[in-house]
Structure formats: structure tokens, C-alpha cells
Amino acid sequence: MDPLSDAELHGFSRLMMDAAGIMLPLSKKALVGGRLGRRLQALGLSSFTHYLAHIQRDGPERQRAIDLLTTNETYFFREPRHFAYLAEHILPRHDASRPFRVWSAACSSGEEPYSVAMLLSEHLGSRVWEIVASDISTRVLEQARRGIYPMERADKIPLPYLKAYCLKGVGAQEGQFLIQEALRARITFRELNLNAPLPDMGQFDLVLLRNVMIYFDAATKRGVCGRIEQVLRPGGHLFVGHSETLNGLESRLRMVQPAVYRKDAGDARGPR
């Protein structure tokens, strides 16, 4: 198999930009070659050029390539200041007469929405709440729906939550844990491309889009942020990664602390 060339990397970069708005610079060359090389071997292809041609006519294989090239680093209760802000500032001010709705965008393998679900269950009790969790990768969505993780992934889950919402695997599942079925049932997982018009999902009180926009160019960031604004309720919040900012983007979202943005409560534009 021939090594990945700069021209072939450019071809995969165009694929990912068109599909998901994700850039693949030269610094990602080794990552792309490593992740896709096994697919070339499995398909009996001798070059990445042949693989590029193959995925143009094979839709399922194209989706597999997108899955492999999507970065999915995540863990439970990542960036704990967000969870503290949610518990201390957002939930106490929520109107209890309506559901609290959350969208975990780019949810990867599910650790983020399950973390939010544990916190909401703990703080809202019998009140109604909903979580929509989405990703462009069908592979990680299947893992998220199962809600089964290696035991070492539990190290960031607070012990009371671990005892209340996670089941320790036994027998064939030894060394793993399962998210409680009642909690799994509160989350709707769906395939969704942030770089395309959004389906009708209603409005949300909180959107989490963390550690994703670092892979977008300026035009893609503007488009994604504009679509998120439309589905945020007036007074709703957006959490981004602590290494990310909306600075330089025309936005109706105002930063209330680093990585936390709020839509003006007087701004009632957008779908209802």
C-alpha cells in the first residue's frame, strides 16, 4: 500500500469539509493515513486514491470513512465547571412549569449526555426534562445508545451518581458498567450534521457544543452558531469548550463567563 500523499490528504479534507465542515490540515496526515489504512487493506485497495474513488460511489463506505476521521475524544463530566454552572445558576432559575430541554450536539459516544442526565435527575427530581444527543458518526451513536463503558471510564463520575445511575457488569459484562435503563430512556440519540440545515427539534434551554468548533473554519463557525441561536430559547445557554470562543463572530449570544454564553432573554426570534 502506498503512503498517503499530500494530494490524497487534500481529497479527504474536501470530503470532510463538505460532509461536516471539518478541516484536515497537513498536521493530521499521519492520523488520516493510520485510521484509513486498515480500510484499504480490508478492501484490497493499493492506494488512497483508489479508496477516494471507491467512497464516491459507495455510500456506506463513505459514512465509515467519515466515522473514522471524526475525532471522538470525550469522558464523563468533562470540564466540570460547566456542570457546576448548570447546577448552581441555570437550573434554579428555570421555569418549573415547562420541561427543561438540552441538546448535546456532537455527543460522541454518549459520555456527555449521560453526565448531564445524571445531574438533571439529581437536581430536578420528578420534574420533566429531555435530552437530545446528536452526532454525525453512526459508529459512536450506536455505542452511545448501548450505554456500556469500560470500568476505567467511570473514574470521573461522582461516587453518588455512580451508585445511583450505573450498574456494574457481571459475567460476560465483567469489567464494564451500564447506564441505568431509566436514564437511557430520557435521551434521544439521532444522526445530525451541524453543517446542514437543522431538522425541527423545538427549542432548547441549553446547548452543549464543546471542543468541536476548533475543527471548523470561520465560515462554518458562523453558520453553526447561527443555527444554534435559532433553536435556543430566549435566556437559554450555550456551552463551548474552554479552549473555544465566539469572539469575532456576529452573534446574539453574550458571554457570561469563559465558555458559557447566554441568548438575550428579550430576543424572541427563532422557531417556537
CATH code for 80-263? 3.40.50.150
Same fold: 6-69 with 80-263: no
Which amino acid makes up residue 269? R
214, three cell numbers: 476548533
Instruction: Note the pTM of the prediction, 2 decimals.
Output: 0.85
Distances (CA, A) of 92 to 96, 153, 204: 9, 30, 16
CB 121 within 8 A of CB 183: yes
Element (H, E) at 8: helix 6-20
Cell of 174: 465483567
Which helix (H) or strand (E) segment is 34 a member of?
helix 29-43
> Is 81 one of the annotated active-site residues of the chain?
no
Q: What is the pLDDT along the chain (272 residues), one digit of tens a residue?
A: 778 999 999 999 988 888 777 878 888 899 899 989 999 999 999 999 999 999 999 989 998 898 888 766 799 999 999 999 999 999 999 999 999 999 999 999 999 999 999 999 999 988 999 999 999 988 899 999 999 999 999 999 999 999 999 999 888 889 999 999 999 999 999 999 998 899 999 999 999 999 888 888 888 899 999 999 999 999 999 999 998 989 888 888 999 999 999 998 765 444 43
Catalytic residue among 78, 135, 210, 233: 135
pLDDT computed for residue 269 by the predictor: 46
Residue 249 makes CB contacts below 8 A (sequence gap 6+) with: 218, 221, 222, 225
Please confirm, yes or no, whether 6 is among the known catalytic residues. no
CATH of domain 6-69: 1.10.155.10
Distance from first CA to last CA of the chain, Å, rounded? 53
- For the chain, the domains span 6-69, 80-263
The single residue of 35, 62, 64, 153 carrying the catalytic annotation is 35
What is the structure's pLDDT at 71?
67
Give the position of cell 475543527.
215
